[in-house]
Amino acid sequence: MLFDIFEYYEATLKNHNVKLEIDQIFSLHSISFENQEI
């Protein structure tokens, strides 16, 4: 079961569009964190 999950994530991370979405999510989070610190 765990092997299937890791295999799924590995295939997903290789997808460029998914990586872009993940990068955008982290960017949004970092922006919100910066706004909270100010």
Q: Which residues contact 13 (CB under 8 A, 6 or more apart)?
A: 19
Could you identify the residue written with the tokens 């706004």? 35
Across 6-34, average pLDDT: 75
pLDDT for residue 38 is more than 60: no
- CA gap 24, 16 in Å, rounded: 12
Distances in whole angstroms, Cα of residue 12 to Cα of each of 4, 8, 21, 37: 12, 6, 11, 33
Confidence of residue 11 (pLDDT cuts 50, 70, 90): confident
pLDDT for residue 24 is more than 60: yes
H helix intervals, the chain: 2-13, 16-37
Confidence of residue 35 (pLDDT cuts 50, 70, 90): low
Token pair recorded at residue 3: 């092997």
pLDDT for residue 37 is more than 70: no
Across 9-38, average pLDDT: 72
